[in-house]
Amino acid sequence: MRRVPVFMLIAALAPPASQGQESSAGALPWADARQLVLVTTSDWDASTATMRTFSRNGKTWEPVTGSVLVVIGRTGAAWGVGLHPPQPGPRKQEGDGRSPAGVFALGVAFGYANSARTGLPYEAMDANDYCIDVADSPLYNLVVDAGEVGADAVEGSTEPMRRDLHVDGDQRYKLGFVIQHNPGNEPGLGSCIFAHLWKSADTGTAGCTAMAEPDMERLLAWLTPDANPVFVLLPQEQYDRLRDSWNLPL
C-alpha cells in the first residue's frame, strides 16, 4: 500500500483561513485556535528560547505549563511563511540556520516507534523516508518514501527521517511533529521545519525547535487537532509589538 507523505496530511490540521491572510470577516486566521505552543527568544540571533503552552477559554488564554528550555536555529530566527501576514525584518531562507518566526499550523506527529501517545495523527518513519531540502526539487519541503519516488529523487537531501539508521544512531527525530512552515513549498524559503528532540541544551538546530524528550512527550500528549493548535515563535520585541493585535497571551 502506498504510504501517504507526511506533508500531504497537514491540510487536515490547518485552520480554514488562507495562509498569511485575514478571513473575509476580518478575523485572524488562527482565531479558532484553542491550544497555543509559544516559543520566545531574547532577540533575532538567539539560539536558546523558552516554550510555554496555553489553552483558550473564550477570549482568554490560560497557561497550561510553565517555561521550559528549548533550542532553535543555530543562527537564531527570521520571519517564515505561515498563517501570519508578512512582517518587516529578516526573512527565512533555505540553509540559513534560522528557525521561522510567526504563527504556524501543526502537521502530523512522527517518530521511530510504531505509535506515540498523542491526539495528533502519527506517522511511523522508516529507512526510506526523507524530507526533501533540495530547493530545485519538485518534492521540495515534502516527506517522501524513497521506495516510491526512487533513489534519484532523494539524492542530495540531508534530511533522512530515520536519523538513527542513517546518521550514527542520532535520536533527534525519535519523536516530533511538523511545523507547517512554507506550506506552498516555495523554493528557497525554507523546508523540513519540525519540533523534535534536541542533541543537547546548548546545540542549536538547522532551523527546527528542539527540546528534551520528557517535554516533547508531555507536549504531544496534550495536543489535539480538535483544538486547532498553533505554534508561535517570536523574539521578545516582536512578541511585545504584536501581542495585542494577534490576540496572544499576556
> So what's the pLDDT on residue 26?
52
> So what's the pLDDT on residue 138?
95
Which segment of 16-30, 54-68, 124-138 scores lowest on mean pLDDT?
Answer: 16-30
Per-domain residue ranges of the chain? 38-242
pLDDT digits (tens, 9 = 90+) for 210-240: 999 999 999 999 999 999 999 999 999 999 9
pLDDT digits (tens, 9 = 90+) for 75-128: 999 999 999 999 999 999 999 999 999 999 999 999 999 999 999 999 999 999
DSSP line for the chain: -PPPPGGGGGGGGS-SSPTTS--TTS--TTTT--EEEEEEESSTT--EEEEEEEEEETTEEEEEEEEEEEE-BTT-EEE-SSSSPP-SS-B--TTS--EEEEEEEEEEEEESSS--S-SS-EEE--TTEEE---TTSTTTT-EEEHHHH-HHHHTT--EES-HHHHTTT--TTSEEEEE--STT--TTS----EEEE-S-TT--BSSSEEE-HHHHHHHHHH--GGG--EEEEEEHHHHHHHTTTTT---
pLDDT digits (tens, 9 = 90+) for 132-182: 999 999 999 999 999 999 999 999 988 999 999 999 999 999 999 999 999
pTM score, whole prediction: 0.91
